[in-house]
Structure 1
Amino acid sequence: MHFQRVFSLCILVFLLLTAKAGAAENIQITAASAILIEASTGRVLYEKAADVPRFPASTTKMMTCVLAIEEGDLSSILTVSRTAAETEDTEVGAGDRFVLAELVAEMMLRSDNGAAVAIAEDLAGSVGSFAAHMNEKAKAIGAKDTHFVNPNGLPNPAHVSTAHDIARIAAYGMKNPKFRSFVGAKEREITWVTPEKKRALMANTNRLLSTYEGATGIKTGYTNAAGGCLAASARRGGVELIAVVLGAADEEARFTDAAKLLDMGFRRVKAAPAYTKTDLARRVWVKGGKEGRLTVYPTEDLRLPLVDGEAEENYRLTYDLPRVIAAGVKEGDRVGDLVVSHGGKELTRIPLHAEKSVGRGLSIEGLWAYVLGLFA
């Protein structure tokens, strides 16, 4: 009997140890830096030298794409300058005219460096001014170890980022449907305004879109100085993951490494049942408004990633939201945040937006909100 108990205990210990080792999955990644995150929360699932500054090559263009969407008019027409046309590795010519959306697609699918310069000049007047915008946005996103000098990632000693920062930028971009449409296209026919009727079918340089199940993006990169670079994303079973590799030995190795990371992530991560936008909505008081109450909500449902069979209780959802706000709020305005934490550490903030506009005026609830505001 004693022998059986000891034997059973040994088996149990062995199973626990092997389960833990299996969860860790010490996979072999050849790139100098790498990271795997869950897209909605930014939770890190794997990292290797992820905060070491490196050359990001054309993964830089993710930020150029973000700014083109947020600060530009995708339906506007721009003319390619001689400077842009003379940029290394470009298919656009001096005097060519494009709708901005077409040039963004040329930049993101074919990875056209001149297209990136043309976009920068159109939005900010010069590459230098645009780089300043890029750096401001990077800091706002949380990419604090990043410094951009140009919009395309061509080599410059001062142009650096980290695998973690590139993942942050990628996750930010993937929250925008327009960004997703650019980076998720396997191919696209690019149309010029002038020369009139000129067209070209561009295949995406990210071959994982065609070879990896559930692939959703995002951006390749390569220079001799940077090595193989890739920000890759995929969605399966309600879980979306983002893998970033920088400094891979060659263009082939970046795809191999990213696929390994994604495979590991999908083995380890399952999605908890969704919190709907309605579940997460909250009400705030509006002082001095025609209406005294306002609903605020996130733009998407939330599915928390459960890693290695963990319980959903490991997460904590809290609201950073004022009790009372002033009238004059517009529909879609950011009113506060839903804060997602795990293990006592804040992972991400999900913006909460006004359901509708509330103008200034009189209402019983609005007066009550004013009284509450005196004690807020």
Structure 2
Amino acid sequence: MRIAKTLCTGLAIWACATTAALAGTSKFTDLPGNPGLKSASAIVLDDEGNVIYGKDVDTVRPIASITKMMTAMVILDSGIPLDEKITITKDDRDLIRLTGSRLEYGATLSRREMLLLALMSSENRAATALGRTYPGGMDNFLAHMNRKARALGMSNSHFADPAGLKSENVSTASDLAKMVEAADGYPLITEASTTTRMDVYPYRGRGNLTYGNTNRLLKNKNWDIELSKTGYINEAGRCLVMQANIEGEDVSIVLLNSFGKLTPFGDSNRLRKWMLANS
């Protein structure tokens, strides 16, 4: 998470030391009561990684499009050119859920634009194309996704496709908190996942396509969101991961297996209300 660094000189050293000592104490420590969340699994961590709230944090569940956050990290870790053009082909079709896409065969965008669409608007063909065009192909890409998970200590996680369409993409709330923390170190991921609207031009001689972010809380003035990703397939329910600043403190939020389109957003608001009421 973003941690401010202050240069201390002279008498200011004492003040900085005092601030540092206090920095490890969160106002959200040992909160009473329960936020009454509807999500089956949930975890909230403070800036130091301490658990503010947990519910069924180690149960392995399908994670749907939360997968795309790992896809983005693997792409960025590779150092492959983000300005390289990628063209959508029939190989990028969703033959699992049969979801549609406005990126028709022949649609061409830069790798950076594909990554942005995959994160902000959960574009499945964009995510699949990122994996398909990875050096060594899709199998190598999936191997790197799982290797990255192991490196992050996500011992109960497995990745089976770049878009999260397969129910074999699984993790736990506690594992995903590690992924969210790691993803915060990638400026392009934080930028993409918090962009509310984006225009792209994938077809020569045609106008723009406008995409919106799948996280409606980004438009809520009560929220200061630094990183986010939504997900949904039948097996996973509604999922949401976020990093947000609440009353000056950075917190990580993971919500898995909510039923009802708006439930993750409702749970997020219930969490925030509970935290502020008891801090």
Structure with the bigger percentage of strand:
1
Q: CA deviation at 1:206?
A: 0.3
Residue 207 of structure 1 corresponds to: 216
Matched, 1:135 2:172: no
Residues 232/263 of structure 1: CA separation in 2 closer, same or farther (3 Å cut): farther
1:80 matches 2:88: yes
Partner of 1:98: 109
Q: Distance in 1 between matches of 2:223 and 2:94?
A: 38
| Contact kept in structure 2, 1:229 and 1:251, CA below 8 Å | no
Which protein is bigger by CA-based radius of gyration? 1
1:188–1:202 contact (8 Å) kept in structure 2:
yes
> Residue 59 of structure 1 corresponds to which residue in structure 2?
66
For 2:40, the equivalent position in structure 1 comes to 32
**8 Å CA contact 2:153, 2:178 repeated in 1:** yes
Q: Give the residue type in structure 2 aligned to 1:205.
A: T
Q: Which residue of 2 aligns with 1:219?
A: 229
Q: Which amino acid aligns with 1:174?
A: D
Cα gap change, 1:22 to 1:58, in 2 (>3 Å)? same
- 1:191 corresponds in structure 2 to 201
Say whether the 8 Å CA contact 1:42–1:171 is kept in structure 2. no
- Per the TM alignment, residue 118 of structure 1 is displaced from its structure 2 partner at its CA by 0.1
Q: Which has the higher contact order (CA 8 A, sep 6+)?
A: 2
Partners of 1:266 and 1:143 lie apart in 2 by 30
Following TM superposition, by how much is the alpha carbon of 1:267 offset from its aligned partner in structure 2, in angstroms?
Answer: 5.5
If the length of structure 2 is used for normalisation, what is the TM-score? 0.81
Partner residue in 2 for 1:324: none
Write the distance in 2 (CA, Å) between the matches of 1:98 and 1:123: 15
Alpha-carbon contact 1:109-1:182 (below 8 Å) kept: yes
Kept in 2: contact 1:228–1:248 (CA 8 A) = yes
Structure 1 counterpart of 2:125: 114
Matched, 1:164 2:164: no
Query: 1:198 & 1:136 partners in 2: Cα distance?
Result: 40
Structure 2 equivalent of residue 258 of structure 1? 268
Closer/same/farther in 2, CA of residues 79 and 53 from structure 1, 3 Å limit: same
CA distance in 1, matches of 2:230, 2:165: 13
Q: Rate the CA distance shift 1:53–1:122 in 2: closer, same or farther, 3 A.
A: same
Q: Do the aligned residues in 2 keep the contact of 1:230 with 1:254 (CA within 8 Å)? A: yes
Partner of 1:154: 165
- 1:213-362 maps to which residues of 2 (within 5 A)? 213-265=223-275
Q: CA deviation at 1:202?
A: 0.8
The answer to whether the 8 Å contact 2:119/2:229 transfers is yes
Three-state SS of the structure 1 residue aligned to 2:134 is: helix
Q: Distance in 1 between matches of 2:127 and 2:207?
A: 20
Deviation of 1:219 (Å): 0.4
Amino acid at match of 1:206: N
1:30 corresponds to which letter in structure 2?
Answer: K
- CA drift at 1:196: 4.5
Q: Which amino acid in structure 2 is aligned with residue 61 of structure 1?
A: K
> Are the structure 2 counterparts of residues 238 and 74 from structure 1 closer, same or farther at C-alpha, using a change threshold of 3 Å?
farther
For the aligned residue pairs, the C-alpha RMSD in angstroms reads 2.2
CA drift of 1:137 comes to 0.5
Tell me which moved more, 122-131 or 133-142: 122-131
- Give deviations 1:131-164, integer Å, cap 9, x for gaps: 11111001111211100001111133x3211111
Structure 1 residue 266, shift from structure 2 partner = 5.0
Distance verdict in 2 for CA 1:128–1:261, change over 3 Å = farther
The AA in structure 1 aligned to 2:63 is P
The alpha-carbon deviation at position 232 of structure 1 amounts to 2.1
1:46 maps to which residue? 53
The answer for the alignment partner of 1:68 in structure 2 is: 75
Structure 2: gaps (5+ residues): 1-28
1:357 matched residue in structure 2? none
Gaps spanning 5+ residues in structure 1: where?
Answer: 1-20, 269-307, 309-376
CA distance in 1, matches of 2:55, 2:153: 19
8 Å contact kept, 2:34–2:274: no
The 1-side partners of 2:134 and 2:207 are apart by: 24
CA distance in 2, matches of 1:148, 1:111: 16
Task: Give the percent of matched residue pairs that are identical in Structure 1 and Structure 2.
Answer: 29
What secondary structure is seen at the aligned counterpart in 1 of 2:219?
Answer: helix
CA drift at 1:23: 2.1
